[in-house]
Every structure is written in structure tokens, then in C-alpha cells.
Amino acid sequence: MSAILVVDDEQSMRDFLAIMLKKEGYDVVSAETGADAIKAVQNEIFDLVISDVKMPGMDGIDVLRTVKELSPETVVIMITAYATAETAVEAMKLGAYDYITKPFRVDEIKLIIQKALEKRHLRKENILLKREMESRLGFENFIGGSVPMQKVFLLIRQVADTGSTVLITGESGTGKELVARAVHANSSRKDKPFVTVNCGALPETLLESELFGYMKGAFTGAVSNKQGLFEAANGGTIFLDEISATTPALQIKLLRVIQEREFMRVGGTTDIKVDARVIAASNRDLHAEVAKGAFREDLYYRLNVIPVHLPPLRERKEDIPLLVDFFLKKLSAGRTAKRIARDALKILMGYRWPGNVRELENAIERLAILSAGEEITAEHMPETVMALQPHADLVPVEIPDEGIDLERLLGNAERTLLHKALEKAGGVKTEAARLLGLTFRSFRHRLQKYEAS
């Protein structure tokens, strides 16, 4: 529902506009003076301000100027019974959407208000679209015929339209944002905003102001009022990626907005109601984070209403041929797509893909660019992939007549054991070090040595 502020020193005009606008479904606040209007704008963010020009004290032009300073995104319409060309020009220069002369027809002002709010909403949608395009992952659709992925697809269809909070877990690069988008796209909210927030990319104070918005003067640099991303997602879905990176103080505020469906802007004094479905994601084990005291238990249970776990690519290797084919066709740009030779595909199937699908896509793009001809073969494989191929026998039973390369043999054995331990430990390096009888520091040093080679 759009919020409109009506400013006029004539009570009859205020009442007329308020009644008309409320009948149209708008949320309306009235102010008798310019000073009262500015107080209202300081405490709330309005989509539209309708102000008379001629008023005692602070006139409409001063109201327009101040509103644009406090809340640049608010649309302002000026109305007056004493129209002059000079005043109209000044109002338009200061950012007024339109300048209407009294008396006006009801249908006329209704249409102007509708067009003004459409412009406001279009601007908001463009901002959201820009954010969405900037945050898109490198692959566009789910690809996977494996049993684990089919279970994920089924779960998405089951929970999409429930409105319940969803917690997506999985390693980096497995496609957690794709799950969130699929849940939104298959819900009744699909035509409303989908807003993504990377909680690990911003410091606490900046993240709080991004999520909840702020009022002018709330902190250094807050030169105007600004709506937060929860408000931008109203009616739709907000995706909180890497939620484990949030601080305990911010977790309390997130708990409140999930429980109560309301929050307060930074520097604000009034509660804001919001209807946004929350989908959160983490590449950490949040249950373990709760046990360590690093994540609030009550927030964890609020988020974990519907858990969705994405398996790493190494646990669904049968999907690799499908993914490779998809990425090669995507990169072909309408031309005949390159082929992947059987020996090359076998090597790709043997690699553990610590970066999951995102790493695979990057590798295929690199291979498609650097390989000559129409077929990608084993000789095109990068050294990082070749070096980490699994070895059935770490040490040969017999030394052949031609001898062996001991350094390479031991290096391959160490690589294999390091990554097998890491895989068995679910990616937790301290546990992988314990499995190999190494200190964490020694394990990390050995791993970095091979990852850098």
C-alpha cells in the first residue's frame, strides 16, 4: 500500500483529498502546515507528497525543497489556486513531478497520482532489477538427474507456496541462491520482488542500515531518509545469503522481524510492518555454530522451519556430464557447441570439485576458450585437475624396469590422502588434520602447497 502525505492549510481540501485517496486504497497522512509536513517526513518515508504552494510560514516550495533533501525518492505533486509561470518552473527545477492548478477535476488528479506512483514503483523495480542482475550466479537453471538433486527439486515444489521460512545449506558453489529463486518463482509471490542480501559482504553497521533502512542524521553519511531491503521486498521474498556471518546483535533484530513482521529503521522511532518471506542460506553448519555460541539458537529454529540441503558436486558426479553439456551449449552463443571427449570427461568425473558447480562452470569456460578445434580432450585439462586424479594404488607393489618418479609418486599420494581426509571430514580442515595425525597448521601448509601448484 502506497503512503501519501497531504499538506494544505485549508481543512476542507485536506479532508477532501484524504477521503478520496483512502477510497482509492492509499494510506494517507495529513499535515496542516509545512513544518508539520517536515516532521512527518522526518519520521516516515512517503511514496508521494501532495502539497499546496501558498501556505503561511513554510510554503509549498520550501516543503518540496526539504522533502527532496530528506527523501529524494519521494515523488512530490504541487497544487495551487495562484499559479504563476515562475513558481511552476521553480517547482519543476526542484524536482516536482507535476504542478496542478485549482480547481481540478477529480479524475484528473487521480490519474496524475496514479502515474506518479507508477513512476516511483518503476524506479524501485529498476533498482531491484539492477541488484538482481549484479547478483546472478553464473548458471541459470538447475541441472541434475541424480537422486539427491531430484529430492531437492521435489522439496522445492512442495514448499514453494507454503510461505514458510526456508533454510538452505550446502558448500559454496552448490547453487543455494538458485534454490531460493526457484522457491520464489514457484510461489504466489512470484510477481513481487526477490531481494538478495549477502550478509557476509558487509560490516554489521552497514548491513543493518541496508536491511532496515535509516533516517536522516542516524549516522555520519545519512544525508537523507532511505528505505531498507526488507521494505523493498514487501510482498515478495528476501534472501539472506551467508546468514552465519551476522553478529549476535543483528541476529536479535532479524529474529524480531521474522517473528513480529515488523522492524524499526536505524535512527527511526516508529515500527514498520512488512510482509516478506525470508529464505536464508549458509555454507556453515548452523547447528554447530549454535553449539559454539556463535549463532542464536532461537533464530536458528525460526529459520530452520523447512531445511533444504544441497549436496556437493562430488556426491552427485553422475550430473557432471549433464552440466558439462549444458555449459558448452551455453558458451556456444548460437554456434555449434564444442564436444567433450570421453577421456576428458573421465578426468572431470575423477576430480573432487571443491568449488562445486561454480568451479566446474569456470573450468569449462576456460577449456572452451583455450582448446583448439571442436573437441576438448584430455590434453587440454588444467594441471590442477590432472594432479588431483584419484589413485587406486598409492604405492606400486613392484618397481618396474624403467624405474619410478619417487617425488611425483609421493606427491600424488599426499595430494590424494589430503583431499580424501578433507572429503571424509565434510570440508572441516581441523577434523581432516586429525584423521591424518597432523596439526592443523601442518595440514593447511601441505594443502596450500598443492593448491598453489
Q: With pLDDT > 90 as the criterion, what percentage of the chain qualifies?
A: 43
Work out the average pLDDT over 64-84. Answer: 88
Q: How far is the CA of 411 from the CAs of 102, 417, 424, 446, in angstroms?
A: 86, 10, 20, 10
Neighbouring residues of 273: CB distance < 8 A, sequence distance ≥ 6: 261, 262
pLDDT of residue 40 exceeding 70: yes
Q: Return residue ranges of the chain for CATH 3.40.50.2300.
A: 3-124
Higher-confidence position of 60 and 332: 60
Torsion 239-243-245-248 (CA) sign: positive
Distance CA 305, CA 259 (A): 13
pLDDT of res. 184: 92
pLDDT of res. 136: 43
The neighbour count for residue 289, using CB atoms within 10 Å, is 17
Distance CA 88, CA 215 (A): 29
Neighbouring residues of 112: CB distance < 8 A, sequence distance ≥ 6: 77, 97, 98, 100
**Closest of 336, 351, 330, 333 to residue 139, by C-alpha:** 330
Work out the average pLDDT over 135-156. Answer: 71
**Closest of 261, 73, 271 to residue 165, by C-alpha:** 261
pLDDT of res. 139: 34
Distance CA 328, CA 275 (A): 41
pLDDT of res. 383: 67
Q: How confident is the model at residue 442 (pLDDT cuts 50, 70, 90)?
A: confident
| CATH number assigned to the domain with residue range 3-124, chosen from the 4 options 3.40.190.10, 3.40.50.2300, 3.40.50.300, 3.30.110.30 | 3.40.50.2300
Average pLDDT value for the chain: 86
Structure confidence by residue, pLDDT tens digits, 344-402: 898 898 888 888 999 999 999 989 888 888 889 888 887 666 655 554 445 555 677 77
The neighbour count for residue 270, using CB atoms within 10 Å, is 10
Distance CA 59, CA 94 (A): 14
Q: How confident is the model at residue 21 (pLDDT cuts 50, 70, 90)?
A: very high
Q: In 213-285, which residue ranges form alpha helices assigned H by DSSP?
A: 229-232, 248-260
pLDDT of res. 410: 80
Q: What is the pTM of this model?
A: 0.65
Annotation: CATH topology of 406-451: Arc Repressor Mutant, subunit A (1.10.10)
The identity of residue 30, as a single letter, is: S
pLDDT of residue 133 exceeding 70: no
pLDDT of res. 432: 87
pLDDT of res. 236: 94
Q: Does domain 136-309 fall into CATH 3.30.460.80?
A: no
Work out the average pLDDT over 257-262. Answer: 95
Distance CA 75, CA 39 (A): 17
Q: Return residue ranges of the chain for CATH 3.40.50.300.
A: 136-309
pLDDT of res. 26: 92
Q: Return residue ranges of the chain for CATH 1.10.8.60.
A: 313-387
pLDDT of res. 438: 87
pLDDT of residue 130 exceeding 60: no
Annotation: CATH topology of 313-387: Helicase, Ruva Protein; domain 3 (1.10.8)
pLDDT of residue 408 exceeding 80: no
